[in-house]
């Protein structure tokens, strides 16, 4: 059984309760609604609900505003996408990390939330996903540097954990 299968129920609950309020998607009509083209299909987002990385992410400093949206398709329902509002071809696939799953120690999650200036219960944690094809196909998550989003302020940071032995290529599939 894969990581995503083991944690499907917890992940779905976490998305509904914690990630849902942070979503940038919208079906309303207003001046701030835009349709964005992503590799996974078009999404309608409310740019007023952008997730803001004050300094960008390491290696992606020019992209500071993102839309957070669910991935389309039943087989991708555990994943979320962060789509850059400034770099149209930049879409990051993420997996919400329910703190109860215990992949990252509670004290380290608290440190990450504190670095953003928010309480643990107001933080949404996302693991960045990578696909590797050599030597064999696999999907991995970066446990060393989770994205932390304050669901109240919509501010975010990619926090690099300095304690613990967290894998940057944790195999999820």
| CATH code, domain carrying 95 | 2.30.290.10
Nearest to residue 25, comparing CAs of 70, 65, 64?
Answer: 70
Q: How many domains does the chain have?
A: 1
Mean pLDDT of 5-12: 53
Nearest to residue 96, comparing CAs of 86, 87, 104?
Answer: 104
Mean pLDDT of 14-23: 58
Dist. CA 145–CA 61, nearest whole Å? 15
Mean pLDDT of 57-85: 85
What pLDDT does 2 receive? 47
Mean pLDDT of 93-104: 85
Q: Is the pLDDT assigned to residue 74 strictly greater than 70?
A: no
> How many Cβ atoms are within 10 Å of 171's Cβ, its own excluded?
12
Q: Which helix (H) or strand (E) holds 130?
A: strand 123-132
Nearest to residue 83, comparing CAs of 72, 73, 92?
Answer: 92
pLDDT band at residue 3 under the 50/70/90 scheme = low
Mean pLDDT of 138-150: 92
CB 70 within 8 A of CB 25: yes
Q: With the CA atoms of 95, 97, 102 and 104 taken in that order, what torsion angle do they form, in degrees rounded to the nearest 10? A: 90
What pLDDT does 27 receive? 59
What pLDDT does 71 receive? 79
Range of the domain at 8: 3-171
pTM reported for the whole predicted model = 0.83
Is the model more confident about 79 or about 29? Answer: 79
Q: Is the pLDDT assigned to residue 31 strictly greater than 80?
A: no
């Amino acid at each position: 059984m894969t990581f995503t299968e083991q944690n499907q129920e917890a992940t779905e609950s976490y998305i509904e309760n914690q990630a849902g309020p942070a979503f940038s998607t919208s079906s309303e009509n207003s001046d701030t609604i835009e349709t964005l083209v992503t590799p996974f299909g078009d999404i309608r987002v409310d740019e007023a609900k952008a997730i803001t990385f004050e300094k960008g992410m390491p290696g992606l400093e020019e992209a500071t505003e993102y839309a957070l949206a669910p991935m389309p398709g039943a087989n991708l329902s555990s994943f979320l996408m962060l789509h850059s509002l400034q770099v149209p071809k930049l879409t990051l696939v993420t997996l919400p990390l329910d703190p109860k799953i215990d992949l990252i120690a509670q004290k380290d999650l608290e440190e990450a939330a504190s670095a953003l200036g928010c309480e643990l219960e107001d933080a949404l944690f996302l693991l960045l996903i990578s696909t590797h094809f050599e030597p064999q196909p696999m999907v991995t998550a970066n446990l060393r540097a989770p994205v932390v989003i304050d669901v109240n302020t919509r501010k975010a940071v990619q926090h690099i954990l300095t304690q613990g032995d967290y894998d940057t290529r944790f195999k999820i599939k």
